[in-house]
Structure 1
Amino acid sequence: MKLFKQLIALAFVFLLLGNQKAEASHFSSGEIYYRWAPTANDSSRYEVFVNWYRNNGGIAITQTTQVVCITSSCFPNVNVTLNRLMPPPGQASPNDNNGGWIVPGLDECANATDPSYKDLSVHKFSGFVSLPGTCGDFKFTANAICCRDVSTNLSTSPNMYLEAKLNNTLGESSSPEIQAPAGKAFCLTQPGAKPFQFIQAAIDADNDSILYRFGHPQSGVVCGPGTNIAFSAGYTVNAPFPSSTGIVIDQSTGIFTFSPNQQGSYVVKIVVEDWRFDPITLQWLNIGESVREIQIPVTANCNPASAEGPRLSLTAASNNAAIQNFTQAEVDSLKNLYNMRVFRGEDSISNGTATVHQIPIFQGYQCFDSIVSIEFNNNVRCSSVDPTDFRLIGPDGVARPVVDVETNCQFLVSRNLDLKLNQPLDVDGTYVLQIRRGNDGNTLTNECGIELSEFYTFLIPVSGCPAPTYELDGLTVEGDVNVRLDWSGNAALQDPSIIATFNSWNIYRADAGRRPFSLLKVVDDANARFFVDSFAPNGYYVDNFIYDYQVQLVYNGKGRIPSRFCSNINLRIDSAQRSDNNLPLYWNHFKCIDPSVRNYDVFNGKRDTTVPAPGISWTLQSQTTDTIANIAIPAGDSITQGTYAARVVARNVNGSSRTDSSESNWVYYYVVYYPPVIPDPPPTVGEVIIPNIITPNGDGFNDRFYIKAPLDGGAQYENISVSIFNRHGERVYQNEDFASINDENQGWNGVNNSGQELASGVYFYIIQMENPASNESQTLQGNITINTGGL
């Protein structure tokens, strides 16, 4: 069979057949094993262990030493004396004052008040021995000094004999060690009930493979050999006790599954074999064995505390728990509030029909606690514990995943579980902790294999949490290009716990009225209170779109309720109503200022190209609470001609901070002046022709901007200088020697001085040139439209 090189647990059960009462004599169970314990000067040193289990109702064990004989075919017998190990405080059996240890979990399954139940203690011995050399058949043998308890399945009750084996030809080795105590009492399984499952884990310190099997109980004297004890009729080595579902041993998990159906007391001998692969022979070799012989009663009645699976300890200080009564209406309200289908407490493990429900309340938890501890009044099998067995829902309705469970296991069972949360408790209110069936297929199982009914529920009040609040205060378009968001919050944002668990400020944006929002930016500075949404290098987006923005605080791994949303003001020109002397404007309301105190200031200004950008001196034109306004366009002359811009600022009339106002984008318009014709001008070379549109698409038509010669065939102007400006008044092209390229093949083709193509649109030109006839300079201004798509 395949041997698994891993920790394998073994569970075995002792079932009683018949109604005869077993009389206590002396020894109940025993085990022997060894550990390789070398020193710097002794590589063949071993520590040997012998444990005897005594029925506390029988004869006392008073011996202080135990003799172990080591036999082999290679060397003479070696005797070693083991000394008694005294129990530390808290582990001494109260019913055995001769050095007996408590046997934990003995009464987990059986009813301790049943007459068949026998109280046990364990007496432990250990000592060191150096082996004389290498041999393939060392035996460590020990015998009990007196007889064993009467059992149901053995025909006689002589003294107990145990032997462990060692083959050190492949190297030194420690034997497997069964971790759980060798004492357990069980009860009869009722028809239809789940079978019992019992675990006793064996580990191998050398990571050799281990295998479990039944052995034949023996009697004998030290140095052996042992003599098999005959089974009573109906019992064999591999069928030592009756079970209505048979005895199933899972070698991969070490679980014995069975259903005891007759009362009695049964002896079972467990042999744990140690196997190692020999790289020379390419075979698996048995290199050792440890032995445990146990006798455990099966009572007629089960322990009431175990019949319903693991139960919460309401008296444990670690739980700090109290029971509170809830009416059915209150339970229904909790179910709706936490979106839970079933809500069970102490009085409703088996059914939910009670009109008053007793729900455990865990007291003493504080904000940012990250571990929830639970103590039970009977053992929980550690293999049944999985983080998915637990659901923790906060008062905000958000689940806090349990990512790990510290089981604090001893002998594969535990009464204390520490639930490690993915996110600490961070909101004041009552949390609901519920035990459900997890990914492992069960809730929690006690040592007897009985599962806790699903939906067992605890309430955990939490207080002392900071309550951060924040709001998006303002939103404005900066410099006709970018959108700036400003937000603020209360003092709790500076709470050390908030700072320590801060994750981010999340900035969200959406097209106006469109949902859901999209994450725009994650700001990882806890002290950040503004963000600029940059649309550089131009204001196309703020000129043409309205965006909704909101801010969300994320700390302790969880996003909080987002702020309100605000929208940028998008100012536009009503082209249908525009005239030569009137500029009609309209915009959307800025809803983040209350309408009762909201006013709109409409500004106008002329672009001054002699000062740095934007070079606009703003003048307040009008004020309104509406979303429309008109600006008078002045008549063109040598003073008014130029580029103009308009903007709108929403303002809180009672406010004074920067967030009490929100600026729109800018819109541009132009005032063009055409000087009158001077009569009887001096002789000229003729009137030049300047195009008002170019289509630089490479089709050979209107691809270049140039100044055409006069139609009368006169000479061209000289010393031509050309400057092109965009709608912001920014110079995008300049050529002071334009005369050298002033023809239809070399003229300006709509690129800036960096060689980049300019976008389609209207641009403003200033041309300076010299009349060769009069040697006078003239300046011409006008608009040139670039249309890259052609005519």
Structure 2
Amino acid sequence: MKNRLILSFVLLLCILEAKATHIVGGQLFITENKNSSYNYKIGLTMYFDALNGNPGAEDDVAYIYVFRKRDNASVGYVSAPKIERKNVTYANPLCGISSTETIMISYASDVLLESTVFNDPGGYYMVWDRCCRNAAITNIKSPGSAGSLFYLEFPPIVKNNKVFSNSSPVFPAIQGDYACVNSPFYFNFGGTDADGDSLTYRLITPLQGYSTKDRPGIQAIGSSSYPTLTWIDGITNANIIPGSKPLTVDPKTGMLSVTPGNLGLYVFAVQIDEFRNGVKIGTLTRDFQLKVVDCPKMSAPKILFKQKGSSSFYNSNQIVTIKDGDPNCFEVMVTDPTINDLIKVQGHAINQTNDYFSLFPLEYKTTVANDTMRFQVCLDECFITYDNRPIRIELIAQDQSCPIPLMDTLVIYIRRESSGNNPPVVTTSLQTDYVHVVAGTAVSFTVFGKDSDSDTLSLSGAGENFTLSSKSMIFKTAGGKASVQSDFNWVPPCNALEGDTLKVDFIAEDLRCAGSGLKASKTIYFIVDQSPNHSPAITTSLVTSDVSYMLGSHGGITFQVKAIDPDTNTISLSASGRGFELKSVGISFENKTGIKQLISDFSWYPDCSLMNGDSSQLFTIDFTARDKSCTASLDTISVTISLRDLETESEIDLPNVITPNGDGKNDCLVFQELPAGTCNDQFKDVTIFNRWGKQIYFSKDKTKDWCPNDISGGYYYYVIKYTKRTYKGGLTVLK
């Protein structure tokens, strides 16, 4: 069922009236639901005595109540339906006893926890309060009337205005094992944390809560100190299960151990505290019961090894040396005093990634008392000691004792000489292992890995106390057979401090035997020097930075701009107009990027459209050379261009006689000699009339002259129009 956490309590009438007798144990949990609108799952895992419990007391719904830790104010409750019910298994299924059968029941609901509600820095806690426990419990008073309260603290879901994600620890299902009186027993109560938080464990007195025999399912109330169970006389937290070795819990792993001295049914609780970055952020209690019974005496197997030629059995203070050419296998013995007991052996290397050895046979059954099995330990080709450091192998013999298998462990230290597999070699294209670098200047070289045995190699790089990526170093891991190479590239960042020395190890690993540790490395030292940066310089091919240009002039405005930098830093050359875009006025200039020297051409052919009715206009262009070093510097030069309109001519000078006789002299009325005009007074057209006022010629093109070859001689009139002026006159055509 999915719901919001109910924020107002209701009276729970007519529910939970059946006594939940024989509650064996359990714990609460809260788990973040990633990428879900219901952002958390809240629930309960409960263990129930299947043989002696009241079936009617098995609830279909668990009511879990939530409180604010700061003031125990109620926040709401979750109605969690039953989602799973299954029998608890035994470590050894053959060891079940008729007096013990436990059921694990899980309740859970997806809920929406609002950040506006669950933001109190002090955090929150939830409880499940229910009666009653198993009446046969040995170590507490009035067990049949004792309630069970499961408790869990959790942090706010928002801290410092940021989402604070957290899930409570997850525990494997408890196994329904029993302990044997006067025999060692181990019980794993440890959990894992999805957020990577650290967990600590300690034994506490189980919580009783406020539920009673008459009111087994009450509406829970908030409290800073819930009632606890009452131990019988002589029992404390130091001997919850008494015996030659009372019950203890490993504070780091959660492993419980006990050698009980008396028969009975013992309840206990473990408090698990959750820490993140050294700060406690959560707590939960986990209850359970352990039955101690009288078992047939069982004896553990014994594993023994005697080196060839030795008269005594091996002990862990010795190192077994196997030379090249010696047999790859040696024999180990296992004895067991029990008849018809199944013995299994297993082994693994402790200080090596791969085992590189095998065992056979892996099991046998004893036929007589103190029967002996012999098995072979055979070393593979890759079981090699390359650095003279012995490899530790752990051999374990395990029987089928109840309630948990008994075992014996033997650790053997083995030094085996190399079988001829040579380590790889690492070299670089550098002339030295010490590289002086400056911020902003690129460094690159090639790293090589070679193997004389033509084995497959892996070539990688690692910084000393830093990752390559954190320093912007680029080196890709490469693989290959016999030889491999990869390029190293680095542009030291601007925050590289002068005087720093960075060490990078380049490692070639021989992969013939994975995890063998056969590798070679080469260290390169990068020494950061002071950056000798020079500012760039910028010049133009102009004689002066002030250019005067009259519109209508031929050739336009052209010159070159040059940027020079003696360093190897990247430089840029750019231009910008003051208050205008270069392209918008027709200026052509290419921005460039490069090193040492950059040259770019400036060209402009301005026209009257730029004058805006004025007789002159000023345009200033800034040219900038900028380097890309860490101490970024620049140089700027400015060019001011003055555009002027043509001067107005008040008169025109045309001949009053033309002689179109084909002699090439004075044959035409030449209009090209007319005034060029100005931006505000431009040529429009020319018209010629005969003496009777008839138009005989018209043109808007000043470049076309009038050559009257097809008309008769006589006197003619012309009218020449400009935007603001008109010129009139006459001429004689002689033929």
Q: TM-score range by the shorter chain?
A: 0.3 to 0.5
TM-score by length of 1: 0.36
TM-score by length of 2: 0.38
Higher RCO (Cα < 8 Å, 6 or more apart) = 1
- Relative to its length, the structure with more strand (as a share) is 2
